[in-house]
Amino acid sequence: MDDLCDLLDLFIMEFIISPRLALYNYSAQMDDEEKIKVALRHLSTCGKHVDNQKNGKSKFRALAYIEEGNKKFESLFREDLLEIYTKAAMYAEIGSNELARAYGNRSAHLYTSGLYEDALIDIERALAIGYNDDTKTKLYVRRAKCLFVLKKEMSPEIEEALSDARKWLDKMKEADKKYMTKILDKFPEGLLNKTPFKKYDYNALLPEPPQDNPKIPGASGAIELKYSDQFGRHVVATRDINAGETIIVHRSYATVIDSKFSHKYCWNCCKRAWSGVPCHKCVEVIYCNETCRDKAWSEHHEIECKVMSVITRENVDLYDLLALRLTVKAYKEAGSLKKLQKKIRKIDDTKDPILKCFTNNRFDHTKYESVYSLSRHRVSGFTTALKASTILQSLAASTNIFGEKILDYKQLLYNEEATFIGRLILVNLEISLMNAAKLNVDDNAGYALDPLWSLFNHSCDPETINFTSGNITTLTAFQRLERGQQVCINYGRAFYYANVLDRRVLHRSFNFVCECIACNNCWGPDSLLHFTHCEVYTPAALMKQLGLSPIFGKFKKLTDMTNVNDDTKVVLIPDLFRVLDFYHRVYGYPTVEIIKIKKILGNMFSALLYKY
């Protein structure tokens, strides 16, 4: 009887009503699980299926990339050649000669680029795998060169590398042997004397995570979560907060990187992977080192790995991958499907909107409970359910999460655990669409989701400023905040860059009304001329009064600090926050000088975001 009803449903959907129209019209009346079931029925009758052919490791593709890199070694820009050799490593089988060659050849490119420490890392990897005997001398000589440039003098490690190089001379072709013998005899004469390439790592700008908030780990004790009918869940100051004070230091709960950057950034920590290591199994991701690779495998990639080479062929986007990541992490945290079902039922039964996102009586952003209850994007209707069902089938076809691999949509339809996971994927997809933020490591490189950030409301007059290093983000007070005041972040552009009409477009897209001081007074880019001026202080006077760095006092005026180099920015940022707080305390808000400093700081942080 059930099969007959199913056939009747499908007949109505397929032949009486346009499928898309039917799904759109009735989806609002269905719960999430019903949407998944109807979507599975729809996909099965349309003959949809997931190609379970793995896009995996390939000796021939690895060799092709190695040969391409070798041919273009002298002509390509550093980034382009690095990409070629990294892709060779991604396609090479674990422990293979091709992987050793990819590391060895990439080490040569890293050496000529001034990335000596990374070159040493690749040399060690190539030797550990087993580099060709007839080229080992080149590798050991390269090791000696890197060590000499870094140490600036001979050392036992360099002597050992040169000795190892001589041991393998007889394995080389005669012409190569003569050439390398000459280099060894004259070492270090003629050595590349290139200044090491400067890699930017602004962990120095990341303060230690606050430890004084028992309810919100990684957040300052100066904030707490509140709920009201007007503002929903929001963040409030529990005491006065000074400008420049750290409010949050959080590692994102989940991040995804676009395939265009998969060879460039670590799939785990999102840092620049100069000498990256690939996943042992798939060809989709790279890691900055073995530690990140192993950590990611344990937390999510063990399951994700089996799905990604399948799912990326289904025209999915980054939101889909983020939904997959959230679902896998939820499953791994719970330990089993039954435990996960129990956890979700408990959250669904919790009525208090604050407690709903708590784990063990606190908001723990590292746990899935903090994610599941976030606001969801429901505008896309049944299209989202169809995508969730496709992700579900990819998961079922490539893993044993349901006990055995399931290739048929119809089998999923009558599997209770499968429809539960399908419903969870749908929820996570809608959460991703509503809450994911751009990952600030490159232009449109990917998305990050931190559940606590989603609980901050918006202000067109920025009260806070964020800075990102990899997948770690800090939130700092951009002005003095009073006890009991709601603490807001800025979703788009500040009022001194965007006029009132532009900001209203943003408000409509997020479905809220902004009541910040800028919107209430209709401030825009031209309103700065009407603000009060502080008493004039030169940077030198501020330096003496506030105990700032000597560099600060060298400037004639604050606006001269806009175009300084990156190293100077790192020094000036703490000083500018102290000046900002001083002006707030003495003169109140707004003033022309405070707005100028906020703009300078904003520009500095923006410039540093895309540094390595």
Q: How far apart are CA 244 and CA 343, in angstroms?
A: 39
Each residue of 92-113: b (16+ CB within 10 Å) or e? beeeebbbbbbbbbbbbbbbbb
Decide if pLDDT at 6 tops 60.
Answer: no
Q: Is residue 54 predicted with pLDDT exceeding 70?
A: no
Residue 76, pLDDT > 80, answer no
* Confidence category of residue 169, pLDDT binned at 50, 70, 90: very high
pLDDT above 90 as % of the chain? 66
Q: CA-to-CA distance for 343 and 321, rounded, in angstroms?
A: 23
pLDDT given at position 141: 95
The domain locations on the chain are: 59-186, 204-249+450-529, 252-446, 531-609
595's tokens? 């707005």
Degrees, nearest 5: CA angle 101-103-108: 95
User: What's the whole-number mean pLDDT along residues 442-470?
Assistant: 91
Pairing of the two strands 488-489 and 457-458: parallel
Could you tell me the pLDDT band of residue 314, with boundaries at 50, 70 and 90?
low
pLDDT higher than threshold 90 for residue 378: no
Q: Is a pLDDT exceeding 60 seen at residue 587?
A: yes
- As a whole number, mean pLDDT of residues 39-46 equals 81
Angle at CA of residue 589, ends 586 and 590, nearest 5°: 130
Asked whether residue 18 carries a pLDDT value surpassing 50, the answer given is no
Contact between residue 410 and residue 66 where contact means Cβ atoms under 8 Å apart: no
Gap between the Cα atoms of 111 and 542, Å rounded = 45
What's the rounded Cα separation, in Å, for the pair 466 and 464?
Answer: 7
User: In the beta sheet, which residues pair with residue 469?
Assistant: 472
pLDDT value for 313: 57
List the one residue out of 414, 416, 418 whose CA is nearest residue 405: 418
Q: Please report the pLDDT score of residue 83 as a whole number.
A: 95
Find the Cα–Cα–Cα–Cα dihedral 289, 290, 291, 293, rounded to 10°. 90
Those residues with Cβ within 8 angstroms of residue 52's Cβ, 6 or more apart along the chain or in another chain: 310, 397, 398, 407
Better-predicted residue by pLDDT, 313 or 457: 457
Name all contacts of 171-179 with Cβ < 8 Å and 24+ positions apart. Answer: 171/133, 171/134, 171/136, 171/137, 172/134, 172/135, 172/137, 173/134, 176/134
pLDDT at 407: 85
pLDDT of residue 184: 93
Check residue 610 and give its pLDDT.
61
**How far is the first Cα of the chain from the last one, in angstroms, to the nearest whole number?**
62
pTM for the full predicted model: 0.90
pLDDT digits (tens, 9 = 90+) for 529-572: 678 888 788 999 999 999 999 999 999 999 999 889 988 998 99
The answer to whether the beta carbons of residues 287 and 293 sit under 8 Å apart is yes
pLDDT at residue 124 greater than cutoff 90:
yes
- What's the pLDDT tens digit per position in 467-515? 888 899 999 999 999 999 999 999 888 998 888 888 888 777 777 788 8
Structure letter (DSSP) for residue 230: T
- CATH code, 59-186: 1.25.40.10
- In the numeric block, which tokens belong to residue 506? 């943003």
User: Given a cut of 80, is residue 194 above it in pLDDT?
Assistant: no
Cα separation, 516 vs 367, whole angstroms: 32
CATH 2.170.270.10 fits domain 204-249+450-529: yes
